[in-house]
A = this chain, B = another copy of it.
Amino acid sequence: MKKLKMGMVGGGSGALIGAVHRRAAIMDGEVEFVAGALSSNREKALASGRELGLTDERNYASWERMLEDELSLQEKERIDFVSIVTPNHMHHPVARAFAEAGFNVVLDKPMVHTSQEAEDLMRVVESSGVVFAVTYTYTGYPMVKQARHMVREGLLGEVRKVIVEYNQGWLASQLEESGTKQAEWRTDPARSGIAGAIGDIGSHAENLVSTITGLEVAEICADLTTFVSGRRLDDDGNLLIRYEGGAKGVMMASQISAGEENDLRIRIYGTEGGLEWRQEEPNYLFHKPAEEPERVLKRGNDYLCEEARRASRLPAGHPEGFIEAFANVYMNVVAAISAKQEQAKPDGLSWDFPTVYDGAQGVHFIEKTVESSRSDEKWSDARWRPPARQRQTL
């Protein structure tokens, strides 16, 4: 077994999500972290790299330098992929540059700031043929894969209604004024884009619905609010949604729901029954057939679908969590990269991670939600019609 070499842009000391990416990437023993440009600040970048054990040669002071130097290495010495975990405003230039140069990319969400950037990135990825993943973590959970399987298999009948929520409370007070880095950049339009809560967590909610149900948004009616005075982006958003085909939806995304932690949950109702999953208890999936006892499906059991079983590392009853869900994205990215390197055709499951198209759809959704919220029209067309939309092929 050859380990894949990972580089990282962003994620220096004190950054939350960078450490999660690293743990998720290395925990299966298939990836080694060898290079990084870990901060936009030179000194901080280098200090972080030393702390994390990077060699001096591959501890870069800037991402541009990293790109240049890695390109100058022999192909088998180069990093096999780069993980980009900067604040949002750097996603587009960095991801674009690496993808164009032929590096496989793992990029945090939301993918970029605007639809124009998203479409640009789609084109670059399509022409370069790199493996490109967007870390919508929550779809990495085994029981989310099981939910997707059950909806596809028709266990709910025809889907009529979807309620998706993402309730957080950590921005209920003006945390951005008290020196909390996370709060600062996430409430800053320059670094976060046009949306606050709806961009940061609403995008996860949208991706969760889309992944599990396959439903496509037709029209939305959004009401975004900024509750904390002085804040420049929304911190609460509620939407009515009409999906193609007649299903209805409700979405809530809030960062001022005081007392809530990371309460992402989804309920799906079809003609034959309902399904519920809650991120804070991710090892369970609740299935409510219309006329029978509720069923609690649990991670790690043989009765689950193959994708869910593959995404488990432990027997039933030994809880897996967020890092493992994240690791499932990396696991499938690694499989896809390996397959590409070996010119092998990956099996279908290897592509079981969110791609540049999922990322672009998410950016489009954020834009349309902000538009709708500003509009007096009840319903805003929010259909996503990308100029090119084809599954990535090797």
Q: Which A residues contact B (CB, under 8 angstroms)?
A: 1-3, 16, 19-20, 22-23, 26-29, 33, 50-53, 156-157, 160-161, 163, 165, 167-170, 172-173, 221, 223, 225, 227, 236, 238, 240, 242, 248, 250, 252, 254, 256-263, 267, 269-274, 279-283, 287-298, 300-303, 313-324, 375-378
Contacts and interface: CB of A to CB of B under 8 A. Distances in A.
Contact of A262 (B2, B27, B317, B378): B317
Contacts of A273: 258-259
Given A248-B236, A293-B298, A288 B29 contact: no
Contacts of A315: 16, 170, 261-262
Contacts of A301: 291, 293
Contacts of A258: 156-157, 269-274, 288, 290
A144 to B, nearest CB: 13
Contacts of A238: 240, 248, 250
Contacts of A317: 168, 260-263, 279-280
Given A260-B288, A296-B294, A378-B376, A319 B321 contact: yes
A53 B1 contact: yes
A28 B301 CA distance: 28
A8 to B, nearest CB: 12
Nearest to A285: B293
4 closest A-B pairs (Cβ-Cβ)? A259-B288, A261-B317, A262-B317, A259-B274
Most buried by B among A168, A240, A263, A377: A240
A287 B293 contact: yes
Nearest to A319: B321
B29 A29 contact: no
B322 A323 contact: no
Contacts of A302: 291
Contacts of A322: 314, 318-320
B257 A169 contact: no
Nearest to A294: B296
Contacts of A236: 160-161, 248
A274 B169 contact: yes
A53 B29 contact: yes
